[in-house]
Structure 1
């Protein structure tokens, strides 16, 4: 970005600052600088759609992220943020990491083992999958939905629609990725 362009953006942010307050001015400046630097990319939230019988206690996208809990057969809240291309590309892949929730250690009779009156927990398994993102339209950029399937495979969908919406694709993520 040129020095002249940066000066113009700073002046604009200062005018906004006087009219709307310091936080807004800084936000405009940061947004403008980000837009110039990443013309072909956009940031979006991500969420986990857990199709398994156990809970998920953290999720990462390209080794970024952290705690984001999704109970069995449920969806987590949104977390911020991941950067994706504005235009879908067939070669665009993401690496999804997650850990299953802890489980209680059981004795031979299937009863929880207790230590000091509390169940002994076994840490959940950790997983890492590199997968393509399902095709999306630039006018349908929304939240990245990370579907964790019972077989520990992953489908990643970017959409404005919620997974239960009738037009959401794939119709049944448990059937696997859409076929071209």
Structure 2
């Protein structure tokens, strides 16, 4: 029996799709990765346990990247490594793009970027399960994370710090 090329291609595609299936649930869940920036510095980019999360404006929101992988079942003692880059002068006036002056300006400007790391505990998931991982960047390079289905600034959000926070003159050690 002779099988047409299109039919063989379709059958091959179906077999390929079936080969990706497994009998049982994955140990991990994927969720969106969001940022809430409570500081006046821009978050140029951030990551949580190596999963990238985009950027966040000063006193604003960002991220929205898919996906961060977390254990399906929350367990006590889970720690998240948050790494981020800040720009303390995100609205600096620059020369026109593409010029030698702009390139020189950016070399100097990028020299002032801050690179930070924080290790924070992952709070328990709510009854609804994992909705997303929301990372809050606070003054003094502090970070909080939540998996609540109540996104900030909902009154039900577990993180209640105001969006526009000021850096204290001296950060606690």
- TM over 0.5, yes or no? yes
Q: CA deviation at 1:48?
A: 1.1
Question: Does the 8 A contact of 1:134 with 1:155 survive in 2?
Answer: no
Question: Does the 8 A contact of 1:129 with 1:154 survive in 2?
Answer: yes
Q: How does 1:11-90 map to 2 (within 5 A)?
A: 26=17, 30=20, 32-33=21-22, 36=24, 38=26, 40-65=27-52, 68-90=54-76
Partner of 2:110: 122
TM-score calculated relative to the size of structure 2? 0.68
Q: Distance in 1 between matches of 2:110 and 2:47?
A: 21
Question: Does the 8 A contact of 2:40 with 2:88 survive in 1?
Answer: no
Q: Distance in 2 between matches of 1:140 and 1:165?
A: 18
Q: Distance in 2 between matches of 1:29 and 1:171?
A: 46
> Which consecutive unaligned segments of at least 5 residues does structure 1 have?
1-16, 107-111, 176-180
**SS in structure 2 opposite 1:151?**
helix
Question: Does the 8 A contact of 1:147 with 1:173 survive in 2?
Answer: no
Higher RCO structure (Cα 8 Å, ≥6 apart): 2
Matched, 1:139 2:128: yes
Higher helix share: 1
Indicate how the Cα distance of structure 1 residues 90 and 150 shifts in structure 2: closer, same or farther if over 3 A, else same. same
Equivalenced residue count is 144
Q: CA deviation at 1:164?
A: 1.2
Q: Deviations over 1:133-155 (max 9, x none)?
A: 12222424211001111111110
Question: Does the 8 A contact of 1:93 with 1:130 survive in 2?
Answer: yes
**SS in structure 1 opposite 2:154?**
coil
Q: Distance in 1 between matches of 2:100 and 2:88?
A: 18
Q: CA deviation at 1:156?
A: 0.8
